[in-house]
Amino acid sequence: MTDYIILMPLLILIFGLTPIVARDSYLNKNQKNIMLWIIGLIGVLIAQNVADYVLQTVVSMPYLRTLESIVGYSVRPVIIILFCKLVKPNGKYRIAWILAIYNAAVYFTATFSRFAFYIDENNHFHGGFLYFGKTVFVVSFLLLFYLIYCTVSEYRGKKTWIWIPITNTPL
């Protein structure tokens, strides 16, 4: 029973938040679509983490573990870009998408090299040359600063207090 508790965030996300966003009358169609994509990708991340747990502790399948790790590293920057699109719908995101594609390409190299990371035949994770540079963390860090920039530029002239969208704390 305790093993299934790790699925609770995914179930709450799918059965709780998804219908709320889908029926929200304050969001326009584009905002709803972006929010549903964000929810779906967060669901993918939760499922990826569950798969990683299972592939580390229950079964040993290094190649499958490599693939699910690539998915996890690749999805994170995309979620941040979608939040940028939510905050600033008319923004330009070409550089952000290039960073996300670069990040995914770096981690995709794990399928044929040890450049980013690899999982050995004993199912142990090893960081490669670029892993220690934490490509996903650098790209996500840059995209988070871009999200802050988008938020500040979008709300600068409005009466809304600027730090509410950034910190998500009540007054």
Residue 59 inside a domain? The answer is yes
Domain region containing 15: 2-156
* Stronger pLDDT, 169 or 158, i.e. the higher one: 158
Residue 171 inside a domain? The answer is no
Name the band, by pLDDT with cuts 50, 70 and 90, for residue 171: very low
Residue 121 inside a domain? The answer is yes
Residue 168 inside a domain? The answer is no
* Stronger pLDDT, 21 or 116, i.e. the higher one: 116
Let me know: does 106 contact 115? Beta carbons within 8 Å. yes
When divided into structural domains, the chain yields a total of 1
Residue 101 inside a domain? The answer is yes
Residue 52 inside a domain? The answer is yes
Residue 166 inside a domain? The answer is no
Residue 10 inside a domain? The answer is yes
* Placement of tokens 């499922």 in the chain: 47
* Placement of tokens 């719908």 in the chain: 89
Dihedral angle sign, alpha carbons of residues 156, 160, 163, 165 = negative
pLDDT digits (tens, 9 = 90+) for 136-156: 888 999 999 999 888 888 877
- Is 73 a residue whose pLDDT tops 80? yes
Let me know: does 143 contact 96? Beta carbons within 8 Å. yes
* Stronger pLDDT, 6 or 89, i.e. the higher one: 89
What token pair was written down for 55? 């592939």
Choose the most confident range, by mean pLDDT, from 27-31, 40-44, 88-92: 40-44
